[in-house]
């Protein structure tokens, strides 16, 4: 199995419907080039991802010709019976008979508690015993310390899906490197999500783009991101949520004859990350001076590090996990003490207010 997967999270839409004809063509090109791994989840694309995957793949190819992964998104569930119903619905919607890989979705400070309350780990073990799951795992968005706790408590986990890219590699809120190292220390193969960070590592600042172009003029920005993610030891799969044939063809060129990065290329990725960081919406360097006099003890640098170019769903997840043990952005009392200590002269109070308006009022949390 080649280590490049088709993520059915960002499908092309034609109005309110998935552009299924384009998806079918993309699936055909993907399979023709020898790639067979597909990743979906119950709630992706407003619930349209799994039905689209059935129409584009399951109903058109023999079951043994592809590898299919889906997930149990249990954050809004309140009983084991709901898990049974959703699982049965997934098998019905996909028509696949069984899942090659089935992950407890989005485990972190919030959802891990839900998984323990609903005994979700026992649930997926039972489905594996019934032959409806071949391999069980988790997708994870949180700190390495919690990942270590989960993997220690649940050695039955066979794979871990992590957010890994060169911008987040040393990010202390997302902890790509630390989480990767934790998974490897436990001997778990790693599936990579967000290698291009939702397109952030395609639309680069001019300085970062020129850095890559000077070394490899014909290489796309996406190819640098994919090669960084795929080149580490123990990476089982790198997912890409493609929504155009151009993206598909570019990614296939990179991954069909995959070439690991050399030392100079890795150093260029680190330099590019620094240049991207310098062009972020909130140019925080993480020095922490702002927190010295904060009367509410808000983890300002951690919140700012999550919002480099605006707001994404995965950033919302990390933010909410942080708020389980830290004050929210909305707890700011606008005393402006933080701004007096900021070497970068950032309008911290304003950015905290913007973050709060976007996320603290979100009603979808359990």
What does the alpha-carbon distance between residue 275 and residue 291 come to, in Å, rounded to a whole number? Answer: 25
Cβ neighbours of 34 (radius 10 Å): 12
pLDDT band of residue 227 (cuts 50, 70, 90) is: very high
Predicted TM-score (pTM) of this structure: 0.86
Residue matched to tokens 């992706």? 44
pLDDT of 340: 87
pLDDT of 308: 62
pLDDT of 363: 55
Strands 17-18, 13-14: pairing is antiparallel
What does the alpha-carbon distance between residue 72 and residue 19 come to, in Å, rounded to a whole number? Answer: 25
pLDDT of 366: 47
What does the alpha-carbon distance between residue 299 and residue 78 come to, in Å, rounded to a whole number? Answer: 31
pLDDT for residue 87 is more than 90 = yes
Task: Report the DSSP beta bridge partners of residue 17.
Answer: 14
Main-chain dihedrals φ then ψ at residue 238, nearest 5 degrees: -120, 125
**What's the whole-number mean pLDDT along residues 49-53?**
97
What does the alpha-carbon distance between residue 363 and residue 366 come to, in Å, rounded to a whole number? Answer: 8
**Element containing residue 49 per DSSP (H, E):** helix 49-53
% of the chain surpassing 90 pLDDT? 76
Task: Report the DSSP beta bridge partners of residue 76.
Answer: none
With contact defined as beta carbons under 8 Å apart, do 321 and 108 qualify? yes
Highest mean pLDDT out of 68-77, 143-152, 166-175, 291-300: 143-152
With contact defined as beta carbons under 8 Å apart, do 51 and 82 qualify? no
Q: How far does Cα 279 stand from its chain's mean position? A: 22
pLDDT of 32: 98
Q: Which residue has the higher pLDDT, 239 or 313?
A: 239
Q: Which residue has the higher pLDDT, 354 or 35?
A: 35
Q: Where are the alpha helices (DSSP H) in 95-220?
A: 111-117, 120-129, 144-153, 176-185, 206-215
DSSP at 59: T
pLDDT of 20: 98
Q: Mean pLDDT, the chain, as a whole number?
A: 92
102-145 per-position pLDDT tens digit: 999 999 988 999 999 999 999 999 999 999 999 999 999 999 99
244-288 per-position pLDDT tens digit: 999 999 999 999 989 999 999 999 999 999 999 877 778 787 788
The DSSP result for 148-166, as a single string, is HHHHHH-TT--EEEEE--T
Buried b (16+ CB within 10 A) or exposed e, 326-363: bebbebbeeeebbeeebeeebebbebbbbbbebbeeee
Q: How far is CA 356 from CA 172, 308, 316, 323, in A?
A: 20, 15, 11, 11
**3-state DSSP call for residue 218?**
coil
Length of the chain: 366
Q: Determine the longest span between alpha carbons in the chain, in angstroms.
A: 64
Rounded to 5°, angle at Cα 173 from 235 and 233: 15
**Tokens (6 digits) for 116:** 């323990």
Q: Which of 86, 15, 84, 8 is nearest to 53 (CA)?
A: 8
pLDDT for residue 365 is more than 80 = no
With contact defined as beta carbons under 8 Å apart, do 102 and 86 qualify? no
pLDDT for residue 293 is more than 70 = yes
Taking the domains of the chain in order of start, what are their residue ranges? 4-272, 289-359
pLDDT band of residue 311 (cuts 50, 70, 90) is: low
pLDDT for residue 364 is more than 60 = no
> What is the CATH number assigned to the segment(s) 4-272?
3.20.20.100
Ramachandran sector of residue 95 (left: φ over 0; alpha: ψ -120 to 50; beta: rest) = left
What does the alpha-carbon distance between residue 250 and residue 242 come to, in Å, rounded to a whole number? Answer: 10
The DSSP result for 255-285, as a single string, is HHT-----HHHHHHHHHHHHHHHHTSSS---
pLDDT of 219: 96
pLDDT band of residue 62 (cuts 50, 70, 90) is: very high
151-210 per-position pLDDT tens digit: 999 999 999 999 999 999 998 888 999 999 999 999 999 999 999 988 889 989 999 999
């Amino acid at each position: 199995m080649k280590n490049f997967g088709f993520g059915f999270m960002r499908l092309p839409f034609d109005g309110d419907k998935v552009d299924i004809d384009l998806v079918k063509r993309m699936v055909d090109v993907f399979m023709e080039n020898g790639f067979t791994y597909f990743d979906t989840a119950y709630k992706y694309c407003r619930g349209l991802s799994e039905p689209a995957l059935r129409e584009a793949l399951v109903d058109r190819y023999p079951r043994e010709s592809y590898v299919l992964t889906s997930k149990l998104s249990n954050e809004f569930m309140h009983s084991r019976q709901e898990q049974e119903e959703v699982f049965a619905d997934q098998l019905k919607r996909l028509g696949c008979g069984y899942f090659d890989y089935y992950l407890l979705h989005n485990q972190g400070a919030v959802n891990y508690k839900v998984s323990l309350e609903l005994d979700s780990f026992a649930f997926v073990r039972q489905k594996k015993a019934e032959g409806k799951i071949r391999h069980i795992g988790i997708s994870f968005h949180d700190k390495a310390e919690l990942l270590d706790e989960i993997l220690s408590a649940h050695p039955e986990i066979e794979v871990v899906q992590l957010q890994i890219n060169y911008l987040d590699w040393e990010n202390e809120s997302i902890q790509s490197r630390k989480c990767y190292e934790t998974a490897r220390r436990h001997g778990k193969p790693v599936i990579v999500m967000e290698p291009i960070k939702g397109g952030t590592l395609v639309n680069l600042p001019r300085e970062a783009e020129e850095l890559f172009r000077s070394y490899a003029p014909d290489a796309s920005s996406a190819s640098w991101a994919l090669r960084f993610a795929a080149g580490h030891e123990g990476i089982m799969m790198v997912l890409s949520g493609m929504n155009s044939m151009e993206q598909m063809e570019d990614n296939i060129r990179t991954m069909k004859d995959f070439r690991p990065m050399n030392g100079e290329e890795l150093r260029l990725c680190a330099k590019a990350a620094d240049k991207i960081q310098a062009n972020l919406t909130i140019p925080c360097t993480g020095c922490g001076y702002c927190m010295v006099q904060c009367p509410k003890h808000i983890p300002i640098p951690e919140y700012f590090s999550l919002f480099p170019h605006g707001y994404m769903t995965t950033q919302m997840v990390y933010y909410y996990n942080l708020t389980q043990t830290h004050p929210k952005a909305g707890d700011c009392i606008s005393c402006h003490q933080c701004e007096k200590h900021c070497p970068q002269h950032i309008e911290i109070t304003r950015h905290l207010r913007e973050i709060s308006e976007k996320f603290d009022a979100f009603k979808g949390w359990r």
